[in-house]
Amino acid sequence: MASHVSGTHPGAAVRSSERTGIGSGWVVFAGVMMIFGGLMTLFAGIAAIANDEVFAATRNYVFEFDLTGWGWVHLVMGVVITLAGAALFQGATWARVVGVGLAGLAMLANFLWLPYAPFWAIVLIAINAFVIWALCTAPSPER
């Protein structure tokens, strides 16, 4: 006769931990991608502030902004995204909500950044899309 805790059946703890492991795996993935994307955004901002000639801007683009101004925007966004990505490792629910919002803003900023660094802008847009997907599909910590 097998003894088990009342209200549970054999294997329930295994399934529960598997579900948590899968969910935490997506949150870890999102955290790593946010830290990577935040650092890339931070470095792009530093490069734009330090030397405007690093980037070759496309002429006659609809969204034509000052490169130094974009550098400051990217610098601040990079720091905030990196910190929010690090907070995901602490399991904070607020970090998941903030992460989705910041990833959405970063996608918009990188779309507007396309004339200056098209390849990296597209890569960072894709990374931020994966971050939003991972944060939205991961199960909540209460489950």
Give tens-digit pLDDT for 75-110: 999 999 999 999 998 888 888 999 999 999 999 988
Any domain includes 1: no
* String of DSSP letters for the chain: -----TT--TTHHHHHHHHHHHHHHHHHHHHHHHHHHHHHHHHHHHHHHH-GGGS-PPTT-SS---HHHHHHHHHHHHHHHHHHHHHHTTT-HHHHHHHHHHHHHHHHHHHHTTTT-HHHHHHHHHHHHHHHHHHHHSPPTT-
Give the count of domains, the chain.
1
pLDDT tens-digit series, residues 35-56 = 999 999 899 889 888 876 666 6
Any domain includes 22: no
pLDDT at residue 21 greater than cutoff 50: no
Any domain includes 123: yes
Mean pLDDT of the chain: 80
**Residue 11 or 87, more confident:** 87
Q: At what angle do helices 12-50 and 67-88 cross, to 10 degrees?
A: 160
Any domain includes 89: yes
Any domain includes 59: no
Rounded to two decimals, what is the model's pTM?
0.74
| Amino acid 83: pLDDT | 94
Provide the Cα torsion 101, 104, 109, 110; round to 10°: 140
Any domain includes 7: no
| C-alpha closest to that of 124 among 36, 3, 13 | 36
In angstroms, the CA 88 to CA 112 distance is 27
Any domain includes 74: yes
Any domain includes 13: no
Parent domain of 92: 27-51+64-137
